[in-house]
Structure 1
Amino acid sequence: MRRSSRRTRSRCTSRGPRRRCFALPEEIAPSVVFLASDAASFITGSVLVADGGYTAV
């Protein structure tokens, strides 16, 4: 692994409560399904943050 890759990974995994950089597809899929469903028909102009708690820290 290149030095920059190690540095980036260590920075990424050391932040946020989940201790990893990216969500798994099965973690994002429920949000996508909800936004594509009729249940979200009244939602407009909103941002759904799915960042594993990174912005809450």
Structure 2
Amino acid sequence: MSTRYSASDIAKRLAADVHSGKYRPDEMFPPEREICEQYGVGRNVIREAMTVLQGMGLA
């Protein structure tokens, strides 16, 4: 059974990547397509995750 990621899950993971130094706060995240493939979700989920990150001041 595969893991189903929510927008909140993905936002938390991307935020953790920023805090760990994988991405700088002023750096763009990978393209939506790459994040979709990484987590096995559609673009609408990634867009929602980006909205969450914007609210956190990280996107």
Q: TM-score, normalised by structure 2?
A: 0.29
Larger Rg, first or second structure (1 or 2): 1
Q: TM-score, normalised by structure 1?
A: 0.29
